Amino acid sequence: NYTSSREKEYSLVVVTDSEKQRILLGEKHRGFGTGMYNSFGGKLEREESATASACRELEEETGIVSPLSIMEESHVGTLRFTFEDSETEMVVHLFRVNVTISASGNDKSGGPALQSGGRTFPIAIKSDTIRGCDEITPFWVDNWSAIPFDNMFADDSLWLPALLSGSDFIRLDGWFHFQAGGQNINSISHWYMDI
């Protein structure tokens, strides 16, 4: 297939604690965007759905367990990235998951909070649930107005504030064209968003 050979598909999960207006970011230690902060996700594996990839990557990179059904409801849109110096188009399936920290948590047992719906009813986790892996170290940004965009991909400052301030049922699709690939991606020459 001519198109899909040039397309690389990814999942990206934005994790918020909307009660405290916090967002969980990860510092990347390897792969695309090393040294930068991003939400959680990665390449879709062969035959893997975007939702399954989002669940797998979220658990690998943060320890947060979300059932497929919750992740399904948390799909908010698609981000497309193209680069001046590359034929490849990155297609990033975007999810938003809301968590609350509780004393007991229920991320392993699947209690009522897990079954009542993704974005509107948060996933209850214990404070010690969150842990990183060798690829990424998660950390809370304690206020949505203090997101360190200077150390994040340039597109984030364009769509993340809209996602955070939007309703639970926001849809967000975007296309961002970067002037150069690799690590030097801080120059977006064209972009389009549909919110």
Q: How far is the CB of 22 from ligand 6OG (least distance, A)?
A: 18
Give Cα 153 to chain centroid, integer Å: 12
Q: What stretches of the chain show up as alpha helix (H) in DSSP?
A: 2-6, 50-62, 68-73, 112-115, 156-165
Closer CB to ligand 6OG, residue 39 or residue 129? Answer: 39
Q: Is 64 in the site for ligand 6OG (CB under 6 A)?
A: no
The SS3 call for residue 38 is: strand
Residue 39 Cβ vs ligand 6OG, minimum distance, rounded to whole Å: 7
- With CB under 6 A as the contact rule, the residue among 61, 73, 107, 155 that binds ligand 6OG is 155
Counting residues that bind ligand 6OG (by CB under 6 A) gives 17
Q: Does 43 bind ligand 6OG (CB under 6 A)?
A: yes
Q: Which residue is nearest to ligand 6OG (CB)?
A: 41
Tell me if 38 contacts ligand 6OG by CB under 6 A. Answer: yes
Q: Which amino acid is residue 150, in one-letter code?
A: D
Q: Cβ 157 to ligand 6OG, closest distance in Å?
A: 10
Joined together, the tokens standing for residue 69 give 């059904």
Q: What angle do CA 35, 147, 38 make, to 5 degrees?
A: 40
Interaction residues for ligand 6OG, span 7-36 (CB under 6 A): 10-12, 31-33
Distance CA(130)–CA(64), nearest Å, equals 6
Taking the C-alpha atoms of residue 75 and residue 51, their distance in angstroms, rounded to an integer, is 8
According to the binding rule CB under 6 A, does residue 156 interact with ligand 6OG?
yes
Q: Does 185 bind ligand 6OG (CB under 6 A)?
A: yes
Q: How near is the Cβ of 31 to ligand 6OG at its closest, in Å?
A: 3
Whole-angstrom distance, CA of residue 186 vs CA of residue 83: 11
Is there a contact between 37 and 25 (Cβ–Cβ < 8 Å)?
Answer: yes
Does residue 90 interact with ligand 6OG by CB under 6 A? Answer: yes
Interface with ligand 6OG (CB under 6 A), residue from 41, 105, 122, 174:
41
- Comparing CA positions, the residue from 5, 2, 15, 36 lying closest to residue 129 is 15
**Residues forming the site for ligand 6OG (CB under 6 A):** 10-12, 31-33, 38, 41-43, 81, 90, 92, 153, 155-156, 185
